[in-house]
Structure 1
């Protein structure tokens, strides 16, 4: 895959490293910000002759430019076993594909990319500090092999904040979000200083593609428990209604901390994903 994910941090970037995003820094290169008196920004190279000539007080006016800067991009990944689910697609493989694409896209424009994987604990065997190295996507693919998804729970997501200390970062929180809303609220609160992008990994066989009738052998991938369910139209409608209500609650919760979720269902289309980021 060679296409890129196009993302845009919310607000101005605070970093000092030159990059692709509008920043709060004023300098000699970048996009036009405003006009100020020469005394406020004494840079003779940026004197605006027209604005100076038109100024009624004969003030020498200078163009200030907004520098472009880079940002650290992290994927904070839920490694709980529920993401081993395989229907129309393998969820774990989708996560790996997405994170590798993010790594390639970030490093191509001068951003650094890092990875933090968590189940019940923060998994140091699935941790990669932010780096601008171009080959990082291959490391991400290796770290997110499907065999990594073995744990129960995702409380380790709460341990990620200290690894994200410092300047504001863009954090893609990647999960199926089949987690208690209270836990998710605490995770969002712990990351509130950053630009959080929730990414929901879904499979259509969990919802709309459920059969109207039939016996379903259901397995809890985290506990190993199994049960047999007789599916019928009324039960399907109830399940879909409960899922819709949960998705609404999740969107409202995420929206309180910045962005509504971007949903990836069955396959990763990078153009669709990029559009979703712009709309989130």
Structure 2
């Protein structure tokens, strides 16, 4: 399934020698023109700038310096806890798969690598893809997320995933409904603080906006709490909405302190909407 291209720019200038699509922090003899420097700073006779050399009253020799274009790694960290099994207006598993296929296809198309780590209470090694530039492999593994068993009681394994990704900065998408305790949100994002982090919030109007003002409702706690019958009434509905607003405000505050504000994924995956979010935050 073609999901559309996701356009993104990392918040940092990557280093490294692998050629790619992003403006790197290093300078060299190839790439986009940057400036002129004395020959002794970049002793490359092939890049001598004749005009700049002739204009120098001190008879110095100048060479053209260019910005390198560098590749990065794009990672998807996916919450596989049981709450992600929720199906309302859309299947969360299908939304996650569509998003990851879009990221995998878009990254590998421009020479970046795509990697995937799925976590519940621990890292799920059966849902791990080391960063690869092979488009077919990356999109195949992303599409396979629809077949994954979302069964864990928590997303605690994302803390270990953050440790596993330590090192050179990466563009990391954290994909979840973020129904986590506040300390876990803080711990995951602080562990990813050196990276460019994009939280993707899986949401559904059936969880919140479509609640009736009156009536009996049966709730199913997907993470082991069983079923409960609740009599919905206006006061309870107001408290429910207030708690949801507080939860989302907490997520937005923590995420923005360590990276970018959350992108809300609801109904269907829209590559253009995600691209706008990435280019403006």
Q: Say which of 120, 136, 139 aligns to 1:137.
A: 139
Secondary structure of 1:209's counterpart equals coil
Q: Deviations over 1:239-280 (max 9, x none)?
A: 222211221121111111121111111211110111111223
Q: Is the 8 A contact 1:14 1:168 kept in 2?
A: no
| Cα drift, residue 50 of structure 1 | 4.0
Q: Residue in 2 aligned with 1:277?
A: 278
| Cα drift, residue 187 of structure 1 | 0.9
Q: Residue in 1 aligned with 2:84?
A: 83
- Alpha-carbon distance in 2 for matches of 1:190, 1:212: 41
- Alpha-carbon distance in 2 for matches of 1:39, 1:28: 14
TM-score, length basis structure 1: 0.93
Using the TM superposition, name which of 5-14 and 223-232 deviates more.
223-232
Q: Deviations over 1:133-181 (max 9, x none)?
A: 1212012212x12542011111111111343243221111111001011
Mark the runs of 5 or more structure 1 residues left unpaired by the alignment: none
Residue 200, structure 1, aligned to residue 201, structure 2:
yes
Q: Residue in 2 aligned with 1:167?
A: 168
Q: Is the 8 A contact 1:174 1:198 kept in 2?
A: yes
Q: Residue in 2 aligned with 1:241?
A: 242
| Cα drift, residue 15 of structure 1 | 2.9
Mark the runs of 5 or more structure 2 residues left unpaired by the alignment: none
CA gap 1:249/1:125 in 2 versus in 1, 3 angstroms: same
Q: Is the 8 A contact 2:163 2:191 kept in 1?
A: no
- Give matches, 1:68-217, under 5 Å: 68-135=69-136, 136-142=138-144, 144-217=145-218
TM-score, length basis structure 2: 0.93
Secondary structure of 1:67's counterpart equals strand
Q: CA RMSD in A?
A: 1.7
| Cα drift, residue 111 of structure 1 | 0.8
How many residue pairs align between the two structures? 279
